[in-house]
Structure 1
Amino acid sequence: MVKILVVGAGSWGTALSIVLADNGHEVRLWGHKQTQITEINNLNTNESYLPGIKLPEEIIGYDDLGIALKDIDTIVLAVPTKAIREVLKQVSDISEDPLTIIHVSKGIEPDSLKRISEIIEEEMPEKKLKDVVVLSGPSHAEEVSLRHPTTVTSSSKNLEAAEYVQDLFINKYFRVYTNPDVIGVEIGGALKNIIALCAGITDGLGYGDNAKAALITRGLAEIARLGTKLGANPLTFSGLTGIGDLIVTCTSVHSRNWRAGNLLGKGHSLDEVLESMGMVVEGVRTTKAAFQLAQKVDVSMPITFALYDVLFNGKNPKDAVDSLMGRLRTHEMEDLANILGDRMI
């Protein structure tokens, strides 16, 4: 049994708390809303995020981060990307012992263009940070909370840390693989939200399976182009945190990015969509960051650029699709050659 603090009582943090509790660990779940924490402790539910799910009694909610962190050396960071720096500053001020930080958020920070593991390393003093581990893959919180079969990837620069997290979470319904490619795992997890927004848009416009298949396939090529440029292993994008995460996020109504894109495709404005969602749509912020990053490292990402125009320049979604379809012809295998480069066998 391990004492673990899950920081962030949203749908994903709560679902992962269920997995950890099922595995016999002492689970503390921190959230900043006192009413939500009271509900978790008194009713063993979190209806705002996982309606109809009964939580294990072993999950104890906290709204005081200082108390929650007492005697803790492992935390699961499950807050939106935009809140990570603020939360880490609080954790750093409170924590006395080195922490293993498992982050499960998916995004890239605009302007700084940093991945989440880089933000953690920047915000946490070296003496207070033992290891950083990424836990990512095709996994809807709603299905995990129902104990439906799910597979994810644990990734860290330190293989022992990745295996430690694998052992914490793995069970009969939640299978965990390890992968040393932190860059690829984080880039795949972040950028798939961009393609999911686009998939929602094509569905909202009334297009069919042909359009979605093309979008997923060409979207994967964009993700791999940027990822390998940044140093990722191209094979990572054929795995769980690449094509796996891309499929589940682009094809499911559980995906808030797909739902947001679907509303955009039906003619709603971005402000209307974000107000109606009630939860963070990570793909919007990530689109801005990926747009900036692609320009910085000179990588072609036409789908991402088209979505950027829709989100931030007021371009009509149908016009964006038409412009993508009307681009200059090219050879599909050119992408494969460019992605693999010298790694081709």
Structure 2
Amino acid sequence: MKENLRFGVIGGGSWGTAIVKMLSENLDQLSWYMRSDSAIRHLQKENHNPNYLSSVEFNVSKLHLSNDMNSVVAESDVLVFAIPSAFLEAELQQLSTSLKDKIIFSAIKGIVPESGLIVGEHFHDEYQIPFENIGVLTGPCHAEEVALERLSYLTIACADASKAELVANTLQSHYIRTKISDDIIGTEYAAMLKNIYAIAAGIAHGLGYGDNFQSVLMSNAIREMKRFIDKVYKMKRNINNSAYLGDLLVTGYSVFSRNRMFGNMIGKGYTVKSAMMEMNMVAEGYYATKSAHLINQNRIKKTKTPIINAVYQILYENKNPKKVFRKLTEKLN
């Protein structure tokens, strides 16, 4: 692996903005793809992203900003993708520059709908990127707390430990602690599943369930997550580590969690469409719910997943949240 690798970030949302902030602490130059030309112009003039984490001020002399993904890919050795999974493949379709020999890290917490795969598997199967060149960047970590420089922890997973170490060292700072993992599949599935459970926590709150029930819901959720991940890819892992349980808890309980917010609105009686319109942000768990349901039906042969099933019934079968959760409470322990 050559020295002085060049980094590029793909995505101009809140998490992409937070990742650029973290990388900027340690890099003199960084490429950043944002789809919005007006956001780029604003950032160049005012030193902050007008749409996400606007309190973060950037030294724009460090940044190569572009709405041409090919330019950013061509100039980067390590690419961190932070585009919502539902839109990833559409964005990748504009690529004419090869991803071959690039190191790809996914900061995306979801399933690519076109392939039904987590992002790492999608890059491997659809773009022939070897697994040793694919990694995952996961929490527990909210973009909003990164913006405030509150102490946060990241897990960086890659089959090649040296690449995981490289990215971990480039991200860490006085407010970011990092650790590495070799569980690339498990950490990425955990990052996808925790958004579904956060929607469940939000629905429960919207319906008026209290902290006592929330604790039981989260306790059952981590066990359900373990069953699901073990079926997909069995290896020795401690599900209580921060990349699994920690990320689940912060997403399920935090006021910054858009998935919990989305679920809360559903519990209060919003339709899926009206909740999405009011939030004006992507709740990854909505798409993840359908993907997890299909994986459970087709790939892992009906693992016991009562929480995922309940969220699916509410979001995709238009079933009454109050009635669905009443039945769910009888299945939890």
With the shorter chain as reference, the TM-score category is over 0.9
- Counterpart amino acid of residue 319 in structure 1: K
Structure 1 distance, partners of 2:83, 2:124, is 16
**Shift, 1:321, TM fit:** 1.0
User: Using a 3 Å threshold, how does the CA distance of structure 1 residues 111 and 67 change in structure 2: closer, same or farther?
Assistant: closer
Q: Tell me the residue number matched to 2:97.
A: 94
User: Using a 3 Å threshold, how does the CA distance of structure 1 residues 149 and 96 change in structure 2: closer, same or farther?
Assistant: closer
Q: Please say if residues 17 and 59 of structure 1, whose CA atoms lie closer than 8 Å, have aligned partners that are also in contact.
A: no
* 1:29 equivalent in alignment to 2:45: no
Q: Tell me the residue number matched to 2:56.
A: 53
Measured against aligned partners, the alpha-carbon deviations of 1:298-340 in whole angstroms (never above 9, x if no partner) come to: 201001101111001111111111011234x8xx6xxxxxxxx
Q: Please say if residues 157 and 164 of structure 2, whose CA atoms lie closer than 8 Å, have aligned partners that are also in contact.
A: yes
Structure 2 distance, partners of 1:130, 1:110, is 24
Q: Please say if residues 184 and 227 of structure 1, whose CA atoms lie closer than 8 Å, have aligned partners that are also in contact.
A: yes
Q: Tell me the residue number matched to 1:222.
A: 224
Give identity over the alignment, percent.
32
Q: Tell me the residue number matched to 2:290.
A: 288
Q: Please say if residues 154 and 178 of structure 1, whose CA atoms lie closer than 8 Å, have aligned partners that are also in contact.
A: yes
Q: Tell me the residue number matched to 1:104.
A: 107
User: Of 306, 309, 317, which aligns to 2:310?
Assistant: 306
Q: Please say if residues 228 and 234 of structure 1, whose CA atoms lie closer than 8 Å, have aligned partners that are also in contact.
A: no
**Shift, 1:2, TM fit:** 4.2
Q: Tell me the residue number matched to 1:120.
A: 123
Q: Tell me the residue number matched to 1:72.
A: 76
- Counterpart amino acid of residue 247 in structure 1: L
Q: Which aligned runs of 4 or more in structure 1 are off by greater than 4 angstroms?
A: none
Q: Tell me the residue number matched to 1:14.
A: 17
**Shift, 1:236, TM fit:** 3.8
TM-score (norm 2): 0.93
**Shift, 1:188, TM fit:** 0.8
User: Of 270, 292, 301, which aligns to 1:268?
Assistant: 270
Moved more, 148-157 or 230-239: 230-239
1:56-205 alignment runs, 5 A limit:
56-57=59-60, 58-91=62-95, 93-95=96-98, 98-110=101-113, 112-126=115-129, 131-205=133-207
- Counterpart amino acid of residue 83 in structure 1: F
Structure 2 distance, partners of 1:27, 1:236, is 35
Gaps of 5+ in 1: 333-345
Measured against aligned partners, the alpha-carbon deviations of 1:175-216 in whole angstroms (never above 9, x if no partner) come to: 111110112101111000000001111111121101110111
Q: Please say if residues 9 and 80 of structure 2, whose CA atoms lie closer than 8 Å, have aligned partners that are also in contact.
A: yes
User: Using a 3 Å threshold, how does the CA distance of structure 1 residues 111 and 306 change in structure 2: closer, same or farther?
Assistant: farther
- Counterpart amino acid of residue 18 in structure 1: K
Moved more, 176-185 or 63-72: 63-72
Structure 1 distance, partners of 2:289, 2:99, is 36
Q: Please say if residues 183 and 232 of structure 1, whose CA atoms lie closer than 8 Å, have aligned partners that are also in contact.
A: no
Gaps of 5+ in 2: none
Q: Tell me the residue number matched to 1:343.
A: none
Find the residue that maps to 2:155 and give its secondary structure: strand
- Counterpart amino acid of residue 20 in structure 1: L
Measured against aligned partners, the alpha-carbon deviations of 1:50-84 in whole angstroms (never above 9, x if no partner) come to: 13322233233211223323332111111010222
TM-score (norm 1): 0.89
Find the residue that maps to 2:156 and give its secondary structure: strand
Q: Please say if residues 103 and 134 of structure 1, whose CA atoms lie closer than 8 Å, have aligned partners that are also in contact.
A: yes
Q: Please say if residues 2 and 26 of structure 1, whose CA atoms lie closer than 8 Å, have aligned partners that are also in contact.
A: no
Number of corresponding residues: 327
Structure 2 distance, partners of 1:62, 1:232, is 40
Q: Please say if residues 14 and 29 of structure 1, whose CA atoms lie closer than 8 Å, have aligned partners that are also in contact.
A: no
Structure 1 distance, partners of 2:286, 2:129, is 32
User: Using a 3 Å threshold, how does the CA distance of structure 1 residues 119 and 243 change in structure 2: closer, same or farther?
Assistant: same
